[in-house]
């Protein structure tokens, strides 16, 4: 069965072809009226402009890193790095392309065929991203594994993926929130026009932001986790006795996962007539069940015992559990508690939300610890890595569900902007609300997988550099832990401030347009959407550079300056505080958001009440929490681990 | 010189006598008009009621712990525990007694003799607390060290001190904030009467709260650090070759520190005519300089080389540096940034303050790492502990400056309630503002000392239990780190919710009194101060129990359930996240508070402007941050370490 691994690149190509097939299926649908097409084209254009300019800036970084890696390590590591970076960009490009085609077609499908049709289009749009992420990952790793079993080279691929991820997540997070705040604050609050009103100059940027943040950002994040977990497992396997089967296993597992995901994605046509809340979960269940069976078979035939299978299962279940835990904290009693706290003003709303965020760290951390315990006790460090692979194998379908969210959100925006009428808006609203639930679960899943992947990469680092122990009774390790632990706090502060600055510029631009464009408020003149898009783009891109560089440079400074063990402590400290802050910010932000929606649905006086005003403050604080700073933590902890593994470990060992 | 150590108890008694002398000096001053005396008596009574009821509840816990320790370890450990608990309570009692006598006499001194007199009385009132803490600590450790060099027994004293600290800090923190919110929200906002207006039913509780939180809470916190650092040093020393001089050194150092503090306290009479901003810092400088000279002499005559002296110096300087770093983040540009963010509403105020809090973790963490690096590279783990001792030796005078703050605050309240006139209020306001600066520095110092003490106790734990390594490449250690790391998040959430619940009850009671007591608003009838005091007391006491029990029980569960190394990881993880959260919450809260004051002083439209309203939201969120949850972290990390050292280590080793 091990020979099957050499088919990985072919399976990757097949997956890509399937993604292409789904894409053309989506694209062949009607894009609706001319009005709708114009709006959608604006969003599409804005997204492509952002991507192009982001990739241009990132290219400079990639080129420098390519040279450094080629000189310091080997040209092939440099080439692998380049491939990883390009593949991550490609996944983002495909996903965005599909999302910005699917959004308007979802609206039109709602008009033509109702809920089931709209659900299918939105899901298929997301599936392009999901399948692209999984297939490109498999293709890249498969090729390098086919030609070389040298982990020093293969690791480069993961570092390439990781570097793009940071810029995409941080940049996308800043973009989406600055556009969101600009559109809401000036449009909704100051000018008093509804959300997604075409007179609002920032409305296109706002819709672009949903794609840029939730599609491209999340995609790059999960692509990084996916590639990182597989490569960490290979790197750990390579250091053990009889490495080949141990290195092949993760590849076989993600191959099984991709096939299961393909079947899951195509199974959607069986479920589309169920109510959408159930239907959207079905492909995940199908793929999960198929994958478990396949994983059992793979482990049984290639391994001496079933222990690796239990690790895979532990990872998979932990991912599901963390998703549900996130959903609890962003949907159930905690949200109602925050809504109640809104009755006594903004201050108590903030305190209640922070308390929810802080508390919500407990269960996911225990879940991660459970997965670590099960997988490690059966398989050692290798087990932790293979558990991460298990969690991420069915990324094709998990990511599809995630990427569905912003498409449904966009579809709602387009139906509003094109005045599609209340019945259509009701359909897109329902699909959008469903997207909020899957987004919460997806964020939890992203954090959980980032935590396990970071630990896997950390383990791979310790094995590669030959560390028998990272001893916390030594001062250098304690110092490393403290400095590492403070990194997520620093990055959280930087990204929150960045959103503030970028949003400030956007607010000023929207105000300027309302003031200076005659006839805009009366609907006689069109706003300058492109300028808002340009401002959001510039703001996000200029603010993403410093956090990105810090994350890449710090492990090098610590590792080369203070040695391998201190760097180990550094990574450990960063992972612990990074995971906590990520969960706290993600869930706290989501809970505030939903508390506001709960009040808007009629509780505590509904829209316009004092409680609602207080809840809006909570939601505004929660926005950078859940969409910028929180998700940035995921990347930070993975990227710092991977830089340590790829760049620092060989230098220290050599 | 080592024989001098046996004089420690005698020096402790001398210190106590000096504290008594200062107390009677303060008490002999005029307590002013009958009006003033009545107000002061109410505050005094409220504080004593709280202390008595707190101590009654704590006694149950102390009795149970005494039995457990006596049976599980040895009766003498139980007795030492009991002594530590009683001494901590005594220090709190003396300090509160002095503070609630000095407050009204500060107001009267301002009337009789102006700023210099008032400053002296307030400082002397604080000095009683400072000298009591230092002297009782020295007395207790000195006695046990004289009769036995068995660290298993002496450690019990530290655990006694630590247990009281948790309840005092958490309970005091909840008390002060619930009273504060109740007084402000209903009195200032709803009824529109000024701060400290005698018609406000919660105003006495509010003033009691200042003493309960900032005097008793801070005192117990620093008493714990002081005792903990000395005992950790002894415990580490006991495990090394030729232990006696290593065990004696910390005792000699704190003896030198107490003498330096005594001279520092009494030197205040030389400086009282300087401007108060400078005068208040002089005793600290005098004591610090004297202590450095004495420490040099002690190390030179009792140690083979000067390495321990450099550790002491590193600790001392780190404490000073962290104080100044805290002051920067709660006074300078960061505060102006938050004030500016208030111009765009409450949400941006919150985001700006959180960003300041997050960022403010970086410098203190680097400072702590610097102290660890210097002290460890010269002396190993022993060095970290001796650095903590160095930081805390002059606690007599550091604590005096800290305890000055709430006295000045109270003096302002009394001058308002007794209508003492604007010139008097100007004096007390100036002294109060100075108290806010020293409070910020004091909080920074408390966190820094807690971090070093926790690390010292952690080191003592590893040495006592005989752990050669706590290996972060083992899964159980990683699991320990994660579970430990989540503890501060859990405690922060619990304490923030507790403040909310307690404040809610207080708000309802104040509203009830305004509604049901006829003639209250017209000043014809008196409010029922006592009932508000009772509600704040009940709320605080019932809410402090669960967090306290969790902190004590968790290390036992982890240690006995998963072994010594996992517990080591647990303590490491908790210390890292606990220190970060403590700094973030403390500085963030302080910065919000001062941003509000900055606006009230006239910036951005001053009082009543929209910016001011936004800043009030920030301040209200900051209150539980800086006075309840943040400071609770200090105790949590020390207490969990000390429980591990005292209770778990012997059980695991035995």
Other Cβ atoms less than 10 A from the Cβ of B7: the count is 15
- B376 touching A, CB under 8 A? yes
pLDDT at residue B654 above 70? no
Q: Which of B368, B486, B576 sits opposite A365 (nearest CB)?
A: B486
Pick the residue of B338, B366, B466, B572 with the most A CBs within 10 A to test the interface with A by mutation: B572
> Contact at 8 Å (CB) between B338 and B592?
yes
Residue B471 pairs with which residues in a beta bridge?
A471
pLDDT averaged over every residue in chain B: 90
* Burial (Cβ within 10 Å: 0-12, 13-18, ≥19) of residue B577: buried
* pLDDT band, residue A454 (cuts 50/70/90): very high
pLDDT at residue A393 above 90? yes
- Closest chain B residue to A475, measured at CA: B376
Q: Which of B368, B481, B620 sits opposite A576 (nearest CB)?
A: B481
Q: How far apart are CA A448 and CA B483, in angstroms?
A: 15
**What is the reported pLDDT for A234?**
93
- B496 touching A, CB under 8 A? yes
Percentage of chain A with pLDDT > 90? 56
pLDDT at residue A553 above 90? yes
- A577 touching B, CB under 8 A? yes
CA distance A482 to chain B (A): 6
Find residues 342-371 of chain B whose CB sits inside 8 Å of chain A: 344-348, 350-352, 354-356, 358-359, 361-362, 365-366, 368-369
**What is the reported pLDDT for B386?**
95
Pick the residue of A343, A350, A554, A630 with the most B CBs within 10 A to test the interface with B by mutation: A350
pLDDT at residue B341 above 70? yes
- B482 touching A, CB under 8 A? yes
Q: Do A471 and B470 touch (CB under 8 A)?
A: yes
Kindly report the pTM of this predicted structure. Answer: 0.93
Q: Do A483 and B620 touch (CB under 8 A)?
A: no
Pick the residue of B362, B471, B474 with the most A CBs within 10 A to test the interface with A by mutation: B471
Mean pLDDT of A488-503: 91
**What is the reported pLDDT for B117?**
92
Calculate the alpha carbon distances from A284 to A16, A279, A387, A402 in Å.
Answer: 19, 10, 18, 11
Q: Which residues of B touch A470 (CB under 8 A)?
A: 471-473
pLDDT averaged over every residue in chain A: 90
Mean pLDDT of A438-451: 87
> Contact at 8 Å (CB) between A178 and A539?
yes
- Closest chain A residue to B495, measured at CA: A355
B83-110 pLDDT, tens digit per residue, is 999 999 999 999 999 999 999 999 999 9
The tokens of B618 are what?
């920030």
DSSP of A237-257: HHTSSSHHHHHHHHHHHHHHH
**How would you classify residue B345: left for phi > 0, otherwise alpha for psi between -120 and 50, otherwise beta?**
left
pLDDT at residue A433 above 90? no
Q: How far apart are CA B42 and CA B95, in angstroms?
A: 17
Q: Do B485 and A620 touch (CB under 8 A)?
A: no
Q: Do A496 and B351 touch (CB under 8 A)?
A: yes
**What is the reported pLDDT for A152?**
86
* Torsion angle of C-alpha atoms A177, A179, A181, A184, degrees rounded to 10: -140
Three-state DSSP at A629 gives: helix
Q: Do B350 and A467 touch (CB under 8 A)?
A: no
- A502 touching B, CB under 8 A? no
pLDDT at residue A191 above 80? no
* pLDDT band, residue B493 (cuts 50/70/90): very high
Q: In this structure, what are the phi and psi dihedrals at residue A471, rounded to the nearest 5 degrees? A: -95, 110
- Closest chain B residue to A374, measured at CA: B475
- B470 touching A, CB under 8 A? yes
**What is the reported pLDDT for B54?**
86
pLDDT at residue A2 above 70? no
- B90 touching A, CB under 8 A? no
Q: Which of A352, A482, A573 sits opposite B368 (nearest CB)?
A: A482
Mean pLDDT of A46-72: 89
**What is the reported pLDDT for A435?**
85
Percentage of chain B with pLDDT > 70? 100
DSSP of A411-453: HHHHHHHTT--HHHHHHHHHHHHHHHHHHHHHHHHHHHHHHHH
Q: Do A481 and B352 touch (CB under 8 A)?
A: no
- Residues with Cβ < 8 Å from B519, sequence gap 6 or more? B525
Q: Which residues of B touch A185 (CB under 8 A)?
A: 344
Which secondary-structure segment (H or E) carries B593? helix B564-600
Q: Do A490 and B377 touch (CB under 8 A)?
A: no
> Contact at 8 Å (CB) between A151 and A231?
yes
The tokens of B454 are what?
């926790």
A127-151 pLDDT, tens digit per residue, is 999 999 999 999 999 999 988 888 8
| Helix residue ranges, H only, A114-215 | 115-147, 151-182, 203-210
**What is the reported pLDDT for A1?**
65
Residue found under tokens 């962290």: B322
**What is the reported pLDDT for B187?**
78
A159-179 pLDDT, tens digit per residue, is 999 988 888 888 889 999 888
pLDDT at residue B1 above 70? no
B381-397 pLDDT, tens digit per residue, is 999 999 999 999 999 99
Q: Do A489 and B362 touch (CB under 8 A)?
A: yes
Query: Crossing angle, helix B75-113 and helix B395-417, to 10 degrees?
Result: 50
CA neighbor of A348 nearest in space, from B512, B374, B1, B501: B501
- A616 touching B, CB under 8 A? yes
Mean pLDDT of A354-363: 96
Percentage of chain A with pLDDT > 70? 100
């Amino acid at each position: 069965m091990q020979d099957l691994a050499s088919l990985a690149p072919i399976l990757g190509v097949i997956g890509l072809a399937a993604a292409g097939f789904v894409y053309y299926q989506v694209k062949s649908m009607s894009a609706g009226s001319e009005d709708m097409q114009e709006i959608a084209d604006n969003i599409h254009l804005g997204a492509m402009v952002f991507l192009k300019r982001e990739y241009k800036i990132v290219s400079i970084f990639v080129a420098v890193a390519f040279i450094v890696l080629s000189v310091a390590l080997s040209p092939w590591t440099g080439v692998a790095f380049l491939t990883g970076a390009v593949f991550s960009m490609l996944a983002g490009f495909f996903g965005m392309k599909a999302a910005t085609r699917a959004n308007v077609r979802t609206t039109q499908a709602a008009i033509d065929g109702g809920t089931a049709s709209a659900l299918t289009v939105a899901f298929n749009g997301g599936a392009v991203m999901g399948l692209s992420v999984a297939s490109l990952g498999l293709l890249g790793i498969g090729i390098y594994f086919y030609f070389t079993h040298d982990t020093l080279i293969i690791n480069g691929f993961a570092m390439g993926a990781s570097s793009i991820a940071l810029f995409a997540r941080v940049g996308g997070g800043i973009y989406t929130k600055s556009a969101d705040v600009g559109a809401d604050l000036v449009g909704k609050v100051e000018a008093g026009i509804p959300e997604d009103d075409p007179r609002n100059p920032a409305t296109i940027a706002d819709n672009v932001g949903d794609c840029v943040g939730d599609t491209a950002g999340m995609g790059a994040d999960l692509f990084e986790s996916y590639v990182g977990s597989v490569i960490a497992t290979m790197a750990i396997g390579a250091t053990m006795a009889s490495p080949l089967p141990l290195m092949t296993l993760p590849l076989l597992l993600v191959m099984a996962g991709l096939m299961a995901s393909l079947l899951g994605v195509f199974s959607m046509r069986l479920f589309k007539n169920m109510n959408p809340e159930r239907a959207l979960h079905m492909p995940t269940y199908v793929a999960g069940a198929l994958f478990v069976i396949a994983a059992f078979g793979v482990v049984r035939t290639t391994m001496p015992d079933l222990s690796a299978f239990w690790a895979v299962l532990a990872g998979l279940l932990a991912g599901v559990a963390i998703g549900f835990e996130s959903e609890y904290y962003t949907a159930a009693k905690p949200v109602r508690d925050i809504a109640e706290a809104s009755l006594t003003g903004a201050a108590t709303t903030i305190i209640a939300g922070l308390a929810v965020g802080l508390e919500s760290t407990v269960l996911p951390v225990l879940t991660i610890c459970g997965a670590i315990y099960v997988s490690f006790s059966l398989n050692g460090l290798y087990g932790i890595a293979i558990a991460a692979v298990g969690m991420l194998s069915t990324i094709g379908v998990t990511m599809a569900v995630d990427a569905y969210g912003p498409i449904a959100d966009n579809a709602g925006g387009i139906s509003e902007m094109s005045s599609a009428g209340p019945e259509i808006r009701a359909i897109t609203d329902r699909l959008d609300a469903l997207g909020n639930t899957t987004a919460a679960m997806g964020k939890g899943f992203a954090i959980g997988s980032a935590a396990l992947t970071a630990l896997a990469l950390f383990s791979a680092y310790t094995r590669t550099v030959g560390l028998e122990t990272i001893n916390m009774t030594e001062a250098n390790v304690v110092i490393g832990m403290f400095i590492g632990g403070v990194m997520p706090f620093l990055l959280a502060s930087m990204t929150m401030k960045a959103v503030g600055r970028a949003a400030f510029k956007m607010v000023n631009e929207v105000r300027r347009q309302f003031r200076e464009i005659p006839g805009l408020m009366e609907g006689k003149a069109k706003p300058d959407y492109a300028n808002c898009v340009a401002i959001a783009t510039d703001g996000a891109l200029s603010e993403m550079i410093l956090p990105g560089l810090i994350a890449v440079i710090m492990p090098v400074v610590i590792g080369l300056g203070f040695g391998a063990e201190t760097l180990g402590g550094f990574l450990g400290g960063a992972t612990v505080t990074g995971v906590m802050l990520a969960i706290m910010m993600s869930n706290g932000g989501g809970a505030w958001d939903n508390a506001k929606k709960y009040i808007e649905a009629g509780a505590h006086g509904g829209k316009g009440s004092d409680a609602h005003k207080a809840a809006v403050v909570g939601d505004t604080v929660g926005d950078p929490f859940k969409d910028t700073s929180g998700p940035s933590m995921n990347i930070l902890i993975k990227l710092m681990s991977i830089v340590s593994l790829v760049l620092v470990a060989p230098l220290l060992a050599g």
